[in-house]
């Protein structure tokens, strides 16, 4: 069975690239272009993995991660931030918000899938 990945990303080019890479590795993709729609999509689709941008309209990714972790049905879904935020402390802030991993943009298409999977529990 395909693993479902929810991508919460407001940039269309980044969304296309992430979707393309994941679909080529047989992942099922759910797309959301804002934090608010991402939370709704997570509740409606129960993804196996969430890829989360930090810089989003309406609500930043840190807030989205906290809200997702507060939801009993979603709290165990792994969240991996994929972001251009690369200042000192950004990785730590993402982890404190509930992410299990942090991938800096621009992503490397050749290594992205293995990088993402390195953060996932082995039973996933």
Closest CA to 112 of 12, 18, 31: 18
CA distances (Å), origin 23, targets 46, 105, 108: 18, 19, 16
**C-alpha to C-alpha distance for 21 and 112, rounded to whole angstroms:** 8
Contact of 38 with 52, CB cutoff 8 Å: yes
Q: Does domain 4-118 have CATH number 3.40.50.2300?
A: yes
Core vs surface per residue 12-45: b (16+ CB within 10 A) or e: eebbebbbebbeeeebebbbbbbbbbbbebbeee
Report the mean per-residue pLDDT for the chain: 95
pLDDT digits (tens, 9 = 90+) for 14-71: 999 999 999 999 999 999 999 999 999 999 999 999 999 999 998 999 999 999 999 9
Q: Please give the pLDDT value at position 124.
A: 62
Average pLDDT of 81-102? 90
């Amino acid at each position: 069975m395909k693993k479902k990945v929810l991508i919460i990303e407001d940039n269309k080019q980044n969304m296309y690239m992430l979707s393309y890479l994941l679909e080529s590795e047989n992942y099922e993709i759910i797309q959301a272009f804002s934090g608010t729609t991402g939370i709704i999509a997570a509740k409606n689709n129960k993804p196996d993995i969430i890829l989360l941008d930090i810089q989003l309209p309406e609500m930043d990714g840190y807030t989205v991660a906290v809200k997702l972790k507060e939801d009993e049905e979603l709290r165990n879904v792994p969240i991996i931030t994929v972001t251009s935020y690369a200042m000192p402390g950004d990785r730590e802030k993402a982890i404190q918000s509930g992410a299990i991993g942090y991938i800096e943009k621009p992503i490397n298409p050749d290594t992205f899938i293995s990088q993402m999977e390195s953060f996932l529990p082995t039973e996933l």
